[in-house]
Amino acid sequence: MTEPRGPVDSSRVPRFAGPATFARLPRLDEVGHADVAVVGVPFDSGVSYRPGARFGPSAVREASRLLRPYHPGLDISPFAAQQVADGGDVACNPFAIDEAVTTIEEAASGLGADGTRLVTIGGDHTIALPLLRAAARRHGPVALLHFDAHLDTWDTYFGAEYTHGTPFRRAVEEGLLDTEAVSHVGTRGPLYGKSDLDEDKRLGFGIVTSADVMRRGVDEVVDALRQRIGDRPLYVSIDIDVLDPAHAPGTGTPEAGGLTSRELLEILRGLAGANLIGADVVEVAPAYDHAEITAVAASHVAYDLVTLMAARPREGA
């Protein structure tokens, strides 16, 4: 078995030099096959407020130059345990949402055809729907943990069915999700009405608010989430606005009262051993960031997702 090719050696090539692949890992075309591919989707035509997440993948890659190859929290070297590579960006039409959704689904299905698991960097949350379509095509209906300030189960905006506020309603309607095992984490802020919560419950979602995380603590929240998802194939979708604006100012629809970056990372680490088959990190909009705070947080979130995949290799790997 060929040893995985890891990041560029930072003792030989300074971190600020060379191509900005994720964590300075090889490109997918350089290794031919990867157990995990980090892929960008620079698409933000589905946003309802501030645009700019199309620049998220490049900002997160740049911030990821500081990531190192050993994860002490999970006691694993994720890039040595599996081949991780940067799969580049999915180029999709910024002027036609329906076409872009199809393009993303086809690209994700192609990249994952040989069993490669994807950690996708957005882009806005519209991209979660085609990614879930690709995941469900391979695994059947999947469990979902959705980290977000918002529900993203609304019906339409201005008559449009595909936006960053609707992907999980569409996913339930299309049978992509195991509705016995779907949860929002970190939701907060005003809604249009109580009916939003009623509709969300009807779709099958459980809710752990940011206030619940604060009051109940990370360990209790993780236990509850793990009981809900069991050992089902799990998809994790993370809108960076789940973090408080103090920790992630560079996003399109910020809401006060969010998780800290520490809380989010510790919840993710609590999922070690779960059957994680895919994930995304979205809504990083660097134009509203300062000192790369949001991009740095997102890079660490993506790194933890890759590490969780290393902690439980895919079947047949």
Tens digits of per-residue pLDDT, 3-28? 999 999 999 999 999 999 999 999 99
Does any domain span residue 162? yes
Terminal-to-terminal C-alpha distance of the chain: 11
Low-confidence residues of the chain: pLDDT under 50:
none
Residue 69 lies in a domain: yes
**Residue 64 DSSP code:** G
The pLDDT, as a whole number, for residue 1 is: 59
Residue numbers of the domain that contains 159 = 22-311
* Alpha carbon distance 121, 299 (integer Å): 9
**pLDDT value at residue 221:** 98
Do the beta carbons of residue 15 and residue 24 sit within 8 Å? yes
- φ, ψ (nearest 5 deg) of residue 182: -125, 135
Q: How many domains does the chain have?
A: 1
Determine the pLDDT at residue 2. Answer: 83
Could you tell me the CATH number of the domain that includes residue 57?
3.40.800.10
Alpha carbons within 13 angstroms on the beta-carbon side of residue 55 total 15
Query: What is the Cα–Cα distance from 66 to 129, expressed in whole angstroms?
Result: 31
Task: Specify if 293 maps to a domain.
Answer: yes
Q: Which residues of 23-54 are buried (b: 16+ CB within 10 A; e: fewer)?
A: bbbbebeebeebbbbbbbbbbbbbbbebebbb
Domain contains 174: yes
- Please give the model's pTM, rounded to 2 decimal places: 0.97
Classify residue 134: in a domain, yes or no. Answer: yes
pLDDT score for 316? 58
**Would you state the structure tokens that stand for residue 150, as one six-digit string?**
């918002």
- The pLDDT of residue 197 is 98
Residue 16 lies in a domain: no
Q: Is 9 contained in some domain?
A: no
Answer yes or no: is 28 within a domain.
Answer: yes
Identify any residues that bridge with 276 across adjacent strands, giving them in sequence order. 234
Which pLDDT tens digit goes with each residue over 252-274? 999 999 999 999 999 999 999 99
